[in-house]
């Protein structure tokens, strides 16, 4: 097991492997027989609204199902009067309770939302008897503003989540910092079914001019999810014009046929109309990953410009969804971003945008 990476420490990059290598391993090339939804008949309106508010921005939405409820976590929200570090809403689409703070106190190395320092990209997973959160707060001792990835635990999905280390989990300040962490579990990965966890994230190079292209990384993760357990590798960089200059929000998922795919947001950034969501095929949880299409999966449409900041949600019925932010949902004057959901279907070519219909109910 490697040590937690300290502020300013570097993860040694290996070459982006597998660009010309066939993705997948033995036994992963047969599509599992299961019902798939139809492709959407309304690509100009691909999503359904999960949550919206005229009081609270809902950036980087992440959804967790526990019991008969959903827990919707978002980044520190624009104009949030509660100054929550990690806002969380509990309920179901259309019936959300009031916002609370899943992390009332940020670690000592970070700044709180009350100091106008947002915490980005909460991602929560249950491991054993506790919940583990990955998050990216702003460093307290770095200018310009730089974010790094932390990890915290709680006995409850509503928190309070508490950090267990005095330093970030990943912090490549020489690459502009690190954000957008996801735990991906792959029983067919190189470490086998006994050690299935991997961390996937983005180095924030666009935050530091001259540090290179924005890059998606992956590393083996300990079974408890609290530490890196091997060397990090770069698995994807922009290689199409629409993906530049910002590549972020990596979300790896295993398709029904066992192949691994990486969803991501790319383009000019969340505030631009050419921001969009794409997907690439990967040789495994440690890459490499390569494009199989010439354009994005979801781009600006009638429901809002610049869709992105997506996370993957797999429902109790095994349906696949992308939660994401457009700039409005049929309300061109809306200033605050909603949380939208697009249904994803799968065929032999990979993911496609499907008919959304009604959002899946929470697990029972």
Distance CA 12, CA 219 (A): 11
- If one looks up domain 47-70+170-353 in CATH, what number appears? 2.115.10.20
Degrees (nearest 5) of the Cα angle 187, 66, 78? 100
pLDDT at 165: 86
Per domain, the residue ranges of the chain are 47-70+170-353
Distance CA 253, CA 261 (A): 5
333 vs 359, residue with greater confidence = 359
CA nearest 88: which of 131, 150, 149, 128?
131
CA nearest 298: which of 249, 360, 226?
249
Q: SS3 for 130? A: strand
Residues 6+ apart with CB under 8 A from 335: none
Cα 173–chain centre separation: 20
Q: Which percentage of the chain shows pLDDT scores above 90?
A: 78
Distance CA 171, CA 198 (A): 17
pLDDT at 143: 87
Residue 3, pLDDT > 50, answer no
Distance CA 335, CA 354 (A): 28
Strands 130-136, 120-127: pairing is: antiparallel
Residues 6+ apart with CB under 8 A from 27: 188, 258
pLDDT at 313: 97
**Average pLDDT, stretch 134-163?**
97
pLDDT at 249: 98
Range scoring the smallest mean pLDDT among 50-59, 98-107, 244-253? 50-59
Check: CB of residue 203 under 8 Å from CB of residue 177: yes
Distance CA 195, CA 185 (A): 9
Residues 6+ apart with CB under 8 A from 289: 18, 216, 235, 236, 262, 280, 281, 282, 283
Check: CB of residue 93 under 8 Å from CB of residue 50: yes
Average pLDDT, the chain: 89
Distance CA 141, CA 214 (A): 23
Distance CA 225, CA 184 (A): 10
Q: Over the stretch 39-85, which tens digit does the pLDDT of each residue have? A: 999 999 999 999 998 888 999 999 999 989 999 999 998 878 889 99
**Average pLDDT, stretch 335-362?**
94
Model pTM score? 0.91
334 vs 325, residue with greater confidence = 325
- The span from the first CA to the last CA of the chain, in angstroms, equals 37
Band (pLDDT 50/70/90 cuts) for residue 332 is low
Distance CA 305, CA 167 (A): 37
Check: CB of residue 54 under 8 Å from CB of residue 336: yes
């Amino acid at each position: 097991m490697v040590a937690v990476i300290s502020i300013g420490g570097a993860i040694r990059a290996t070459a982006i492997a597998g660009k010309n290598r066939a993705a997948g391993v033995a036994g992963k090339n047969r599509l599992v027989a299961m019902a798939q939804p139809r492709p959407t008949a309304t690509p100009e309106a691909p999503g359904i609204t999960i949550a919206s508010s005229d009081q609270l921005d809902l950036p980087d939405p992440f959804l967790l199902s526990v019991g008969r409820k959903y827990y919707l976590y978002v980044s520190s929200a624009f104009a949030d009067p509660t100054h929550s570090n990690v806002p969380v809403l509990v309920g179901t689409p259309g019936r959300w309770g009031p916002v609370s703070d899943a992390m009332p106190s940020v670690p000592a190395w970070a700044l709180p939302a009350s100091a106008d320092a947002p915490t980005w990209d909460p991602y929560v997973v249950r491991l054993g008897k506790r919940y583990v959160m990955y998050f990216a707060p702003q460093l307290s001792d770095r200018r310009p503003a730089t974010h790094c990835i932390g990890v915290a635990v709680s006995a409850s999905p509503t928190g309070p989540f508490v950090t267990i280390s005095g330093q970030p989990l990943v912090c490549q300040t020489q690459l502009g910092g690190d954000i957008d962490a996801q735990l991906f579990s792959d029983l067919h990965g190189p470490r086998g079914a006994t050690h299935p966890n991997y961390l996937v994230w983005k180095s924030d190079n666009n935050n530091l001019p001259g540090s290179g292209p924005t890059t998606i990384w992956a590393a083996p993760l300990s079974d408890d999810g609290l530490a890196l357990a091997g060397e990090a590798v770069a698995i994807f960089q922009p290689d199409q014009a629409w993906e530049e200059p910002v590549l972020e929000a990596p979300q790896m998922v295993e398709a029904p046929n066992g192949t691994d795919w990486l969803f991501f947001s790319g383009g000019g950034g969340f505030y631009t109309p050419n921001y969009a969501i794409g997907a690439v095929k990967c040789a495994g949880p440690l890459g490499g990953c390569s494009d199989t299409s010439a354009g994005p999966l979801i781009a600006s449409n009638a429901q809002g410009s610049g869709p992105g900041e997506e996370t993957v949600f797999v429902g109790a019925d095994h349906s696949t969804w992308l939660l994401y932010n457009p700039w409005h949902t049929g309300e061109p004057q809306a200033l605050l971003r909603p949380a939208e959901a697009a249904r994803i279907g799968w065929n032999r070519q990979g993911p496609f945008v499907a008919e959304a219909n009604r959002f899946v109910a929470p697990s029972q």
